[in-house]
Structure 1
Amino acid sequence: MTEAATAGRRANRRGLRSRESMLEAAISSLATGDPAAVSGNRIARDIGATWSVVKYQFGGIDGLWAAVLRHTADQRGDLPAGLEPGGTLRDRVAAMINALYTGLRRPESLAIETLRAALPRDHAELERDYPLTAAELASWKPNWERACQNAFADLGLDPVRVRRVAALIPAAMRGITSERTLGTYGDLDDALAALIGGIVAYLER
């Protein structure tokens, strides 16, 4: 390997480490829940860099947000596909629910919620103003549905019902997690048990 190639590889590794550090710092900033944390200049300040450096790495705020979302997805992994094979339907549903209940309290999930709250609700507006971020968010739904189908593939379940359950689980878990964060007099263990039992009964019908 030539000296120039070796130097180029070292520079590339440094660039990747710098990019990784910026993403981790951006997630930490967003995870505070402060609405101002979505500002490009605020994130740059929290990262300890100038906005021009961040822009060089990500191409702008749209590229940064898309990279944050991709980074959190990579960290999260393909949850349902990681379930133990051979488990009962109830075991698999419970494992998914419990894993999400834990995962939604992680800084990465808090960062995503802060970011989503700042994005346009209208899909056309989101896709026009933040096309990279919109494309990343849009990819999550089919990936999650496919992962859920794979998680139950050997149980002979109705794929339509599995798809509907895949739509229900994230929304229901965000609601339960929100109750936990805000404080509640309700018993969230009962809520989780009812959700698991209801999903199992629906899928078994």
Structure 2
Amino acid sequence: MSANRIAKDAEVTWGTVQHQFGDLDGLWVAVITEIHSRSWNSSPDAWPAHAPTLRERVDAVIDSVWNYLDTTEGRALTALRTSLPARRSDIAVEYPRTAAAFAARELDWIQGFDFLMDGLDLDPDTLYRVRCLLPAAIRGLSNEREIGFTSDLDIARATLADAVVALLA
């Protein structure tokens, strides 16, 4: 998305945007920060309490991300991310502060996932691999929700949970 288009859609000049945010990188950081503050302020208990079983914890992780992606904030962050360069390294070069803001949100995911899995006797390497897989897998299912091709997303989510539990157990 071009800076001029953003300014036009906001019914301001690019000079006004620059005055407020400095450049496009500053604007993206402000957007990410606002999205983050809205999502965490509207849901102070963003991660549910520990469930007793591995399956319940995996379901909680999947449900948390699934539900977040269907919020206004989740959709806005997804739209922003898809409007930026595809490679993380390219974002870091073109928009270094935006890359840092995304990295901070990724840290939130890591901490939340680790919190939900805390206390279970699981292989750390496998847990790391699952933590890397789940956001992409859930985003893929969420994308299917948006475009409507998968006939039964509840079955797909349950199957993802089955696979993760089998891998971790």
Q: Check whether TM > 0.5.
A: yes
CA–CA separation in structure 2 for the residues paired with 1:80 and 1:191: 26
CA–CA separation in structure 1 for the residues paired with 2:46 and 2:147: 31
Contact 1:149 1:159 in 2 (8 A): no
CA–CA separation in structure 1 for the residues paired with 2:79 and 2:132: 21
**Unpaired runs of 5+ in structure 2?**
none
Deviations 1:91-113 (A, max 9, x none): 22112212222221222222222
What amino acid does structure 2 have at the position aligned with 1:101?
Answer: W
- The answer as to 2:155 corresponding to 1:199 is no
Q: Among the aligned pairs, what percent are the same residue?
A: 38
> Normalised by the size of structure 1, how large is the TM-score?
0.71
Contact 1:79 1:96 in 2 (8 A): no
CA–CA separation in structure 2 for the residues paired with 1:87 and 1:74: 30
- Residue 119 of structure 2 aligns to a residue in which SS? helix
Q: Which of structures 1 and 2 has the larger relative contact order (alpha carbons within 8 angstroms, sep 6+)?
A: 2
Deviations 1:50-101 (A, max 9, x none): 3222222211111011221222233333999721134322222112212222
What amino acid does structure 2 have at the position aligned with 1:39?
Answer: S
> Normalised by the size of structure 2, how large is the TM-score?
0.84
2:61 to 96, 107, 112: 96
Q: How many residues align?
A: 167
Instruction: Kindly report structure 1 stretches of 4+ aligned residues shifted beyond 4 Å.
Output: 78-81
CA–CA separation in structure 1 for the residues paired with 2:34 and 2:141: 25
Aligned twin of 1:76: 39
For the aligned residues, what is the CA RMSD?
2.4
Aligned twin of 1:109: 74
The alpha-carbon distance between structure 1 residues 105 and 50, as it changes in their structure 2 partners (threshold 3 A), is same
CA–CA separation in structure 2 for the residues paired with 1:81 and 1:101: 12
Aligned twin of 2:136: 171
Aligned twin of 1:161: 126
The alpha-carbon distance between structure 1 residues 145 and 192, as it changes in their structure 2 partners (threshold 3 A), is same
